[in-house]
């Protein structure tokens, strides 16, 4: 692992990492969120920093302390995360989308707390699709940063996981997708991670089973080999 040997193989590069989970407000006290803690993204930011990169960490509702020695950009909604990433993409060499991004948001956000009396027993909240940030980055003209996405999946089978990753890579025009098993206490909120890194043409670049820091270094190794 490069960081253990102290290699500064990312010196002179700019790495943007998104981490955590977005929150889409329903009313002033409620939101639609997810179980992402931000640990894997924070480990990526730390690893990139230790390897000499200039790092911007776009942190969505992080449940873990951010690293020192990086630029932290706190965000909450998908719209905020999208603005923060897109405004930095032109200057970035690598963008890692480790954040869990809400696929939908409420069409209407109540400005005052929703009250049971007013709403009644049966409630539906109308949702609309959010923009796909990774796909937006994938549509940028070259030269564009190396784009790494994540896919948190509940499939048990390695071939099925790889196929899901390859499908996402192609749809979003990303360079690498790190596929992560999240059932049975794996993935979310834990310190270890099992990850399959998929590249273009359904290539399995590597599989990693270890701490989020080991996974982070493997992802950065793979991203470096994708650089033009």
Neighbouring residues of 132: CB distance < 8 A, sequence distance ≥ 6: 172
- Establish whether 172 is an annotated binding residue: yes
Give the side-chain half-sphere CA count within 13 A for 53.
Answer: 29
Task: State both tokens at 3.
Answer: 């960081």
Binding site for Ca ion (CB under 5 A): 103
Instruction: Specify the residue, 106 or 210, whose C-beta has the smaller distance to Ca ion.
Output: 106
Instruction: Specify the residue, 52 or 106, whose C-beta has the smaller distance to ligand CTP.
Output: 106
**Which window, 37-45, 95-103, 182-190, 220-228, contacts ligand CTP (CB under 6 A)?**
95-103
Neighbouring residues of 123: CB distance < 8 A, sequence distance ≥ 6: none
Compute the distance between CA of residue 6 and CA of residue 4 in angstroms, rounded to an integer: 5
- Establish whether 103 is an annotated binding residue: yes
Compute the distance between CA of residue 188 and CA of residue 198 in angstroms, rounded to an integer: 20
Backbone angles phi, psi at 102, to 5 degrees: -65, 125
Q: Residue 151 touches which of ligand CTP, Ca ion, none (CB < 5 to 8 A by kind)?
A: ligand CTP
Question: What residue number has its CB nearest to Ca ion?
Answer: 103
Instruction: Specify the residue, 80 or 103, whose C-beta has the smaller distance to Ca ion.
Output: 103
- The continuous run of DSSP H or E covering 96 comes out as strand 94-97
Contact between 132 and ligand CTP per CB under 6 A: yes
Residues tagged in the binding site annotation:
103, 113, 131-134, 150, 168, 172
Residues tagged in the binding site annotation for CTP:
103, 113, 131-134, 150, 168, 172
Query: Interface with ligand CTP by CB under 6 A: which residues?
Result: 97, 99, 101, 103, 130, 132-134, 149-152, 168
């Amino acid at each position: 692992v490069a960081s253990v040997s102290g290699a500064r193989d990312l010196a002179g590069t700019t790495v943007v990492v998104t981490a955590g989970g977005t929150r889409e407000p329903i009313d002033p006290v409620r939101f639609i969120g997810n179980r992402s803690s931000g640990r894997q993204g924070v480990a990526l930011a730390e690893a990139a920093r230790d390897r000499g990169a200039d790092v911007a960490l776009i942190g969505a509702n992080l449940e873990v302390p951010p690293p020192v020695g990086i630029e932290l950009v706190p965000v909450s909604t998908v719209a905020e995360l999208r603005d923060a990433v897109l405004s930095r993409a032109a200057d970035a060499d690598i963008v890692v989308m480790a954040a869990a991004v809400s696929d939908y948001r409420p069409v209407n956000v109540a400005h005052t707390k929703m009250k049971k009396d007013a709403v009644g027993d049966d409630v539906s909240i109308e949702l609309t699709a959010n923009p796909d940030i990774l796909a937006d980055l994938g549509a940028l003209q070259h030269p564009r940063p190396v784009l790494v996405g994540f896919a948190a999946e509940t499939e048990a089978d390695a071939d099925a996981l790889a196929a899901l990753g390859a499908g996402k890579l192609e749809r979003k025009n990303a360079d690498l997708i790190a596929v992560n098993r999240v059932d049975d206490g794996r993935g979310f909120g834990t310190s270890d991670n099992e990850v399959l890194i998929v590249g273009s043409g359904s290539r399995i670049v590597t599989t990693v089973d270890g701490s989020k820091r080991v996974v982070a270094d493997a992802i950065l190794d793979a991203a470096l080999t994708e650089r033009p």
